[in-house]
Chains A and B, each alone.
Chain A
Amino acid sequence: MDAVAVRQPEMAHEPHPRESFIRHYIFSIDHKMIGKQYFLTTMFMALVGGAMAMLMRAHLGWPDNGVLSPEQYLQAVTMHGTIMIFFFLTVMLTGGLGNLLIPLMIGARDMAFPFLNMISYWTFVPGVITILLSYFVPGGPAGNGWTAYAPLSAVPAAEGGAGLGQTLWIIAILFVVISSLFGSLNFLTTVINLRTRGMSMGRLPLTIWGAFVTAVLALLSFPVLMAALGLLLLDRLAGTSFFEASNLIIGGAASTHQGGDALLWQHLFWFFGHPEVYILILTPMGVVSDIISTFSRKPIFGYKAMVLSLAAIGFLSFLVWGHHMFVSGMHPLLGAAFMGSTIIIAIPSAIKTFNWCTTLWHGRIHFTTAMLFAIGFVSVFVTGGLSGIFLAIAPVDLYLHDTYFIVAHFHFVMASASLFAILAGTYYWFPKFFGRMMNETLGKIHFALTFLGIYGTFYPMHFIGLHSNDRRLYETTAYPFLSHTGPVDVFVSLSAFLLGFAQLFFIANFLWSLKYGPVAGDNPWHANGLEWTTTTPPPHGNWEGALPAVYRWPYDYSVPGARDDYVPQTVQAIPLVAAAGAGGGEA
């Protein structure tokens, strides 16, 4: 696509090949349709998870009103975490953004295994149905936390151990795990084998690097979770004792389990769980890098360092799971070792932050909604990353472990950061996939309220956490030293409602723009990536005619002497100022 053609927004819209409704919208094997299916399904799940958060905050702000019973409160806590992590963030980033973007950004017609891709989505759907069904079984859904620590989650006799709900929880997550494994295999194969001519690994956009490292992490960590879930299911249903020691008295009666170890669950869970945290943040880091570069009209600073730090974080993520277990009873020497590996992660994280900041410097910043969310990402990531240092230093974690301080920490560094990148990515790529622009005014209101809502909700949690207010407490009346935390809880709840309210602007904007947004050109942001060189929306097979060839990295913004402030990856010879009007050719 040359630069001149890009300026004609009314380019012909290529008709899709004729397909039946079911083949096109339900059992599609086109990565774009599968990506949209994932996107909409996970957005719906985000609403469910968000509703859980609203319920929790409605209770915690005014605990005397009896909005939730203790059991319902723990169920809301558990389902909020479970749904947001497994059914929204993980799958949105891989199944949603990964599917939509990988083939288009590397110049492929589709995923390497389109049929497997369809199977992957249709393995995810039963998981969604199962977890939603668990609300309607006797006893309600699981209420043992998203970490489901055994033996509480393993022995139904343990008070609050839940019945069928916990079993369905295990089965639902097994579906997600299998679906994610299909997806990550597909993503790895696609990135390794299907890059178009000239798209060397050194020219990949950082979004793709993020998705690539994420797929490696998913492939290596999800099987461990799968094994752990299998063992837990056996403990619950078949009477095995992987996680239960001998001589326990549970629910007033002697337990028949013997010989197991409760810490085994934690080791398995966190061996998956820590890479999982990076599964939720590496793709966002890539997305934000690309968006900041595009709207600063400036190359991303330190591309190689960005790639290396992504890889370093990915590698280190397998060596740090024990920092979730400093007080679990594992040997203090292990704690010492995990403290060492954990703090090292601060170094690549710092490098990335400084590189984003430097990319802004001497840029020519366009404050689109996508860019605002990318900037917001850097802010919340830094805030959450810094509070992580307290927790990484194990002796300090002795005090802060399991308090609201850590709730604040991971909601900033992982949940909010990931959410901001997803929203930034949605505003950024919406035109490509839906053919229309989103409304910028609504977008900016959405950003401002979300940004303030996030800080208002999670920042004060540091304070009550420092005051040793533990997480997952139904109410704090048992503890005299917490008798004056009520005002903070009210403030946090009001901020959370603002945050929830702000998302209505997003939903309205999304739905309205689908139908009434201004028609987008092929390259509305004047960006360099390959996805902007095809028509909007891209046809089946992604490019009419031959696949594009790549001649440069995706960050040639504001090249000195060039006619335009961007040079798409497909341009071989940069059109210079003097040669204006001659146009660049697609080779």
Chain B
Amino acid sequence: MEDTGRTHDERRAGRWTSVLIMFTLVAGVLSFVWSARSYWLLPLASAQGASIDELFDIILVLTAIAFVAVHLFIGIALWRFPARQGAKAAHWHEHLGAELTWTVVPAIGIIILGIAGEVVWAKVYSAPPANAEQVDVVGRQFEWQFRYPGPDGRFGRSAPRFVTSGNPFGMDPSDPENKQNVVTINDLHLVVNRPVLLHITSIDVIHSLSLPNFRMKQDAVPGRVVDIWFTPNKEGAYQIVCAQLCGVGHYTMRGNITVQSQSAFDQWLQSQIK
């Protein structure tokens, strides 16, 4: 099936394909470098997030090496081994040493990554410190509501049977303590360098409380209260994204976060009590 013209065609096709693969390699790497300046992880604002970002960087380096290596290998192979007149391919098809190497080496890499991942995971989901600020969070179509304990640090009584459209937290109206609780819509205030413990739920469909600057995300599930905690460590204004499709208005379900000093927070909380 080979003749000279065919050989020439295959060599040319091989070079073009090789160029295409190499172009992918170069563009793939360069565009990531460009992206690192324009579109990268949002500015970090939590203590826990630092180890997540480190993990991200390690994975990025390892996967970049693998991406380059595989594409380089394919690109060279396509350039070097087009069909040629009269030449036969090699016939080898097993090599225990090579196969063991490329089983064991990625396995070791992936296991080390996995252990590092488990360590960070365990840290993120460790028990919250006792002094954490506590906030109840309810997701509903299409807003976030937050409930803060009063200045004495206590939540009033609440129960599912009190839940109505106007009272998503189910606060017991007969409990005077609830008068001291503060409820806000789409407005989460946190104290800088003080751990915060969020009790998250939903009263209709599943939402997801995504806090990208704090490297946290937690679905708000109807019928369940899920706790997460973290320590914001940079004052400023941030956004909450709803990360789970929750209906037509999903894209409007934004919340705001203010991370402020303890005194500013106390002042704000006081101003919210009716």
Contact = CB atoms under 8 A, between A and B. Distances in A.
Interface of A: 70-71, 74, 143-145, 149, 151-152, 155, 158-161, 244-254, 260-263, 296-305, 327-329, 332, 335-336, 339-340, 343-344, 346-347, 350-351, 353-355, 357-367, 372, 375, 378-379, 382-383, 386-387, 389-390, 392-396, 398-399, 401-403, 444, 448, 451-452, 455, 459-460, 462-464, 466-468, 470, 472-476, 478-481, 484-485, 488, 526, 555, 557-560, 565
Contacts of A396: 52, 55-56, 59, 117
Interface stretch (B36-44, B129-137, B260-268): B36-44
Contacts, number: 339
Contacts of A304: 94
A161 B59 contact: no
A468 B250 contact: no
12 contacts: A152-B206, A158-B204, A332-B121, A332-B125, A346-B106, A355-B99, A363-B89, A364-B84, A365-B10, A395-B124, A401-B243, A488-B39
B93 A555 contact: yes
Interface string B197-233: 0000001111010101001111101111010000000
A304 B116 CA distance: 32
B153 interface: no
B63 A390 contact: yes
Nearest to A266: B206
A452 B17 CA distance: 12
A246 B186 CA distance: 25
Interface string B13-39: 110010011001001100110010011
A70 B1 CA distance: 57
B17 A367 contact: yes
B91 A298 contact: yes
Nearest to A293: B93
Contacts of A161: 205, 247
Q: Which of A328, A340, A344 has the most CB of B within 10 A?
A: A328
B78 A379 contact: no
A401 B55 contact: no
A466 B249 contact: no
**Top 10 closest A-B pairs, CB basis?**
A245-B223, A367-B13, A160-B247, A160-B248, A299-B93, A362-B90, A332-B125, A468-B212, A393-B117, A463-B35
B180 to A, nearest CB: 24
Nearest to B124: A395
A252 B217 CA distance: 26
B185 interface: no
Given A249-B140, A478-B254, A557-B89, A395 B117 contact: yes
Contacts of A344: 110
B273 interface: no
B93 A302 contact: yes
A392 B113 CA distance: 10
A158 B41 contact: no
A307 to B, nearest CB: 13
Contacts of A248: 203-204, 222-223
B88 interface: yes
A249 B89 CA distance: 69
Contact of B117 (A252, A339, A474, A558): A339
Given A297-B88, A343-B110, A398 B208 contact: no
Interface string B144-164: 000000000000000011011
B239 interface: yes
Contact of A151 (B67, B204, B253): B204
Interface string B43-61: 0000000011001100110
Nearest to A401: B217
Given A262-B224, A302-B95, 6 more contacts: A151-B204, A151-B222, A382-B70, A393-B113, A399-B212, A480-B239
Nearest to B66: A386
Contacts of B24: 379, 451, 455
Nearest to B242: A470
Contact of A149 (B14, B27, B56, B206): B206
A360 B21 CA distance: 14
Given A70-B251, A402-B208, A560 B110 contact: no
B141 interface: yes
A561 B165 CA distance: 83
A339 B114 contact: yes
Contacts of A395: 51-52, 55, 117, 120-121, 124, 215
Q: Which of A343, A387, A488 has the most CB of B within 10 A?
A: A343
